Structure 1
Amino acid sequence: MTPHQPSQGLTRPLPMPVRPYEDETTRSYIRRINTANALHHGELMKVLKRARRPWVYSLSVWMETQPDTLVLAMPQLGKHRSEPAFRQKLVGRPIRTTHSPACHRCTLTRDAGPYIEIYTTHERVICPDHSLWIGEGIAGFTDQFTVHACPEITTAWHHHKNLITRHGHSQVRRAFHIASVINWSWYDQFQHFTAAMDIYDTLAGEHPRQANSKALLAAALYPSIVTLTAVIAHPIGWRTPARPVPTFSSNGSATKSPTDGNHREPSTPCDTGWKPTGHPDSADPTRFSRANPND
């Protein structure tokens, strides 16, 4: 089929309508419209940029779809509409600034093709219907892999969702970011993380082509990140005052030290400013003893 280009003032529906996908980016949606109607790449974008009205109106005419339907599927299109009744429909939706490929099995079952770019949030790391990893490290639909062999990842995802219900989306988002930075920093320093290595080995055995990918490592670290997120997001952990440190007299009796409740004596090497610098097991806090189930 020979590509053709739309007229400069296109105001009629296109031959092949394309249904929008939930949370799809505008760029992805326009790309699918171009492909379905055999248009030259970038021609629709040129028409939209020349138009003097918001894009949602032009797209609704081309696809014979109500503007409300497009905005509910692609909230970024509603930024230029000021009607209170229209914006009310978007109240409560989490802020989404990052995008990644959607689960390709979900898009294929909806006749949308194998690749759709969607806006995502920090908890959307696996597809609950197909157990595919769609989180960090995924650049295309060929990078997605199943996590059936590691139920710890699915359990961590349910824990992640429960944390959002309990503490709120914004608080958990900040805690998840901090936990991600800490876990990735520790891994980058030691190139080892005992709590995640078993998961990584299992995933690498199931998907040998993904063995050296960042997505596989991100999936292996995810349970540890969620565990630390739960600690950081809990408000009680930040408000509990430290207890006075007892001191021992010469006769062996314990007495409270004359300090206020906000003072805490160093009790661990980390409290004294100790920072790991080497790779030996004795100095590596990420290498825990397997003999102790509480590690």
Structure 2
Amino acid sequence: MIPHRQLPCTARPFHDETVNSYLARLAAANHLRIEELREHLGVRMLKKTPMGKLLEPLSTLSGYPVHNLRLAMPEFITEQYTDEPGCIERPATSRHRALKRPACRRCTRAMGITEPVTCWTTHDRNVCLRHRLWIGEGCHRIDDQADLRRLPRVCRAQRHHRNLLVRHGRRWVRERFHEARSIYLQWHKEREFQPQHEIVRRMLNLAAANRRPIRKDLLLPVIFHAEIVALTGLLASRHWEQRLYLGEGSPQRYVEEITRREILAGYQLTEEDDPLFDWIKGRVIQHKFCRVHWRAWGALDPDETTRPTPPNRPSRDFRTSPWPFY
């Protein structure tokens, strides 16, 4: 049964907040257990129950219009393609690899929210540029968020990452970013990085800005974020991909470009246990598949955000090879 009146206290929704996070905050504001709040909603949520059934009763209890809740929580956006203002480029929550992380603690406090807020996010949202706070890989709790005041290169890399999304397409950059991070962290594990004093300086600056030691699984993605984004730009580049596949170069060209972009000084490509060489071989196989079955590849690797209604021709964002169709 749909509730007929608003709860005594309301909670302001946060941008891209998960429904469960908002329900927890709304229940806490009214001194209710989450199970009691769900009973007030009057909707029995099973595994296959559409999330949209919660929208109207939640609007009644919270006092916020349906439109506002839909814009705040992407779980209420059910269309993959939409031209509705405010719904484009929102995290696609139905994907099995959709990401949930704590919201920037300084953004939530600026809105007067004192409880933890969990948000849907995308692979590129690693730094809150307004507050210079790391909110990406490794942040499972609010206390994990790291202050970046003494690491300005990480903030510049976040802007570079945004530019790569515009230049190459979100889906393309997302896959290359995960691969670049895996490659770079494997290099760090297996190779002698030079100069070592620069890495130590970054670690000390990060620890000093946060006044506490940083966990290793969080430390490495932060201090190497600028290099990982630069490697992402190289792996996602149409220009370098064409030179490799059309026979206008060799893997050695990648080596020279890695040094030129200051990704890894003194890097030498080896065919044995080198993650970059393995990536190049895998991309050739993937390229041959995508050249013929590019639509099937799009189904196997769906996008992570809602998109505008596509035109009659295939969208550039669905690029899967350096050949036609984009």
Q: TM-score range by the shorter chain?
A: 0.7 to 0.9
Partner of 2:155, secondary structure, is helix
Q: Which residue of 1 aligns with 2:76?
A: 77
Higher RCO (Cα < 8 Å, 6 or more apart): 2
Rg (Cα) greater in structure: 1
Partner of 1:240, secondary structure, is helix
Say if 1:68 and 1:86, in contact at 8 Å, map to a contact too.
Answer: no
Say if 2:151 and 2:202, in contact at 8 Å, map to a contact too.
Answer: yes
Looking at structure 1, the residues matched to 177 and 207 of structure 2 have their Cα atoms a distance apart, in angstroms, of: 25
Q: Which residue of 2 aligns with 1:185?
A: 186
Say if 1:48 and 1:58, in contact at 8 Å, map to a contact too.
Answer: yes
Q: Which amino acid aligns with 1:34?
A: A
Offset at residue 101 of structure 1 (A): 0.7
Offset at residue 275 of structure 1 (A): 3.1
Matched, 1:59 2:58: yes
Q: 1:131 to 1:48 in 2, by over 3 A?
A: farther
Question: Please, which of 8, 12, 19 is the counterpart of residue 15 of structure 1?
Answer: 8
Q: Which amino acid aligns with 1:104?
A: R
Looking at structure 2, the residues matched to 150 and 266 of structure 1 have their Cα atoms a distance apart, in angstroms, of: 31
Offset at residue 208 of structure 1 (A): 4.7
Summarize deviations over 1:43-82 as a string: whole Å, max 9, x none: 2234454278701111111112211111111011232x89
Moved more, 146-155 or 191-200: 191-200
Q: 1:63 to 1:265 in 2, by over 3 A?
A: closer
Count of equivalent residues = 250
Q: Which amino acid aligns with 2:221?
A: A
Say if 1:196 and 1:224, in contact at 8 Å, map to a contact too.
Answer: no
Question: Please, which of 23, 39, 44 is the counterpart of residue 50 of structure 1?
Answer: 44
Looking at structure 2, the residues matched to 192 and 272 of structure 1 have their Cα atoms a distance apart, in angstroms, of: 16
Q: Which residue of 1 aligns with 2:30?
A: 37
Partner of 2:128, secondary structure, is coil
Moved more, 188-197 or 134-143: 188-197
Looking at structure 2, the residues matched to 137 and 17 of structure 1 have their Cα atoms a distance apart, in angstroms, of: 31
Summarize deviations over 1:249-280 as a string: whole Å, max 9, x none: xxxxxxxxxxxx4896989997662337xxxx
Offset at residue 204 of structure 1 (A): 2.5
Q: Which residue of 2 aligns with 1:95?
A: 92
Matched, 1:204 2:201: no
Partner of 1:275, secondary structure, is coil
Summarize deviations over 1:86-113 as a string: whole Å, max 9, x none: 9675234353510111111110110122
Q: 1:66 to 1:226 in 2, by over 3 A?
A: same
Q: 1:10 to 1:77 in 2, by over 3 A?
A: same
Normalising by structure 2, we get a TM-score of 0.66
Normalising by structure 1, we get a TM-score of 0.73
Offset at residue 30 of structure 1 (A): 0.2
Q: Which amino acid aligns with 1:175?
A: R
Q: Which residue of 2 aligns with 1:133?
A: 134
Moved more, 66-75 or 202-211: 202-211
More helix by share: 2
Q: 1:140 to 1:109 in 2, by over 3 A?
A: same
Question: Please, which of 251, 272, 291 is the counterpart of residue 274 of structure 1?
Answer: 272
Matched, 1:239 2:242: yes
Summarize deviations over 1:201-247 as a string: whole Å, max 9, x none: 3212333523334223221121111010010111111111589xxxx
Q: 1:94 to 1:28 in 2, by over 3 A?
A: closer
Give the unaligned 5+ runs of structure 1. 1-7, 244-260, 277-295
Say if 1:138 and 1:144, in contact at 8 Å, map to a contact too.
Answer: yes
Summarize deviations over 1:154-192 as a string: whole Å, max 9, x none: 111111111112122222111111111112223344596
Partner of 2:101, secondary structure, is strand
Q: Percent identity?
A: 30
Q: What root-mean-square deviation, in Å, do the aligned CA atoms of Structure 1 and Structure 2 show?
A: 3.3
Say if 2:102 and 2:140, in contact at 8 Å, map to a contact too.
Answer: yes
Q: Which residue of 2 aligns with 1:3?
A: none
Summarize deviations over 1:31-50 as a string: whole Å, max 9, x none: 00001011123222344542
Looking at structure 1, the residues matched to 74 and 125 of structure 2 have their Cα atoms a distance apart, in angstroms, of: 17
Partner of 1:209, secondary structure, is coil
Q: Which amino acid aligns with 2:119?
A: I
Q: 1:59 to 1:86 in 2, by over 3 A?
A: farther
Q: Which residue of 1 aligns with 2:173?
A: 172
